[in-house]
Amino acid sequence: MITWALCLSGLVSAAVAQDGQTTTLEAGYRDMYNLQFTEAHRVFQDWERMHPEDPLGPVSDAAAHLFSEFDRLHVLEVEFFTDDEKFEGRSKLTPDPATKQAFEERLKKGKELADRLLGHDGSNGDALFAEVLVSGLRGDYVALIEKRDLASLSYIKRGRATAERLLASNPDYYDAYLAVGVENYLLSLKPAPVRWLLRISGAQTDKEAGLEKLRITAEKGHYLLPFARLLLAVAALRANDRAQARLLLEDLSREFPLNHLYAEELAKLQ
């Protein structure tokens, strides 16, 4: 099973925003993806003070809380997501109560800000994208820490539906394609009878469609461009294409040298 947790992969070095300008929000993501969580929190909170109506400030800060917890609990290794038996046999983890509280508070504020913006403009791209992230981050928490896969599935479906709503009005918001790709690719890995039941419940389980959407974000995305590239590396490993996986991981390792996870995964491919 692959989840949004893999988005802790990095951001392109140029860090170009949707409007073409470099912003401090990207600096926070770079710190987070380099596992520099204290610095990431500082940047995200500074951004929030300067842009108090932007839901991406608190939602990004929530992501930093979540991934610092994932790093502490050692659940971010790529191998964890390519070995189905290891994933299914994972244990329920014990979260840090203070981190969990901060994570929930940040998500709640981000959701409230997004809902307020959408109340005035139902097609507001950044607000919809913030809600996509809220669903993905919640799905990761309940899956990887609480081991509640069914609850995680509901968040994945909600994130995909919100992404489709965003793309209907703004097809150039390339990060949103990832939510569609994640659901399709992730659920395509389930056994055929399970896929049938999932489709009845409204889930999407088309593997090739999922990979196609991931490639769109990997080529044209912004915040989640590296997430898509890492997911493609995982897909390559699952397909036994070690050369392609190595190329993708080498690029990420060069871009984010402070993230030890890439070097460790590359060593396994030697």
pLDDT for the residue 87: 61
What is the per-residue pLDDT across 227-258, written as a single tens digit (0 to 9) for each?
Answer: 788 888 888 888 889 999 999 999 888 988 99
Residues forming beta bridges with residue 16, ordered by sequence position: 22
Encoded tokens for 250: 């080498």
Provide, rounded to the nearest whole percent, the portion of the chain with pLDDT above 70: 78
Distant-in-sequence contacts of 176-180, Cβ < 8 A, 24+ apart? 176/128, 176/129, 176/132, 177/213, 177/214, 177/216, 177/217, 177/221, 178/213, 178/214, 178/217, 178/221, 178/224, 178/227, 178/228, 178/231, 179/132, 179/135, 179/136, 180/204, 180/209, 180/210, 180/213
Q: Give the mean pLDDT of the chain.
A: 81
Confidence of residue 154 (pLDDT cuts 50, 70, 90): confident
The mean-pLDDT minimum among 25-34, 65-74, 242-251 falls in 25-34
pLDDT for the residue 192: 45
Rank 11-15, 176-180, 207-211 by mean pLDDT and report only the highest.
Answer: 176-180
The mean-pLDDT minimum among 72-76, 119-123, 192-196 falls in 192-196
pLDDT over 50 (residue 175):
yes
pTM (2 d.p.): 0.82
pLDDT for the residue 125: 94
Q: Are 114 and 130 in contact (CB under 8 A)?
A: yes
Confidence of residue 182 (pLDDT cuts 50, 70, 90): confident
More confident residue, 195 or 220: 220
More confident residue, 179 or 8: 179
Torsion of CA 113, 115, 119, 120, to 10 degrees: 40
Across residues 121-127, what is the average pLDDT?
94
Across residues 212-229, what is the average pLDDT?
85
Top-tier CATH class for 4-268: mainly alpha
Provide, rounded to the nearest whole percent, the portion of the chain with pLDDT above 90: 39
Alpha-carbon gap, residue 78 to 48, rounded angstroms: 32
pLDDT for the residue 140: 84
Across residues 52-76, what is the average pLDDT?
92
The mean-pLDDT minimum among 17-21, 31-35, 89-93, 188-192 falls in 17-21
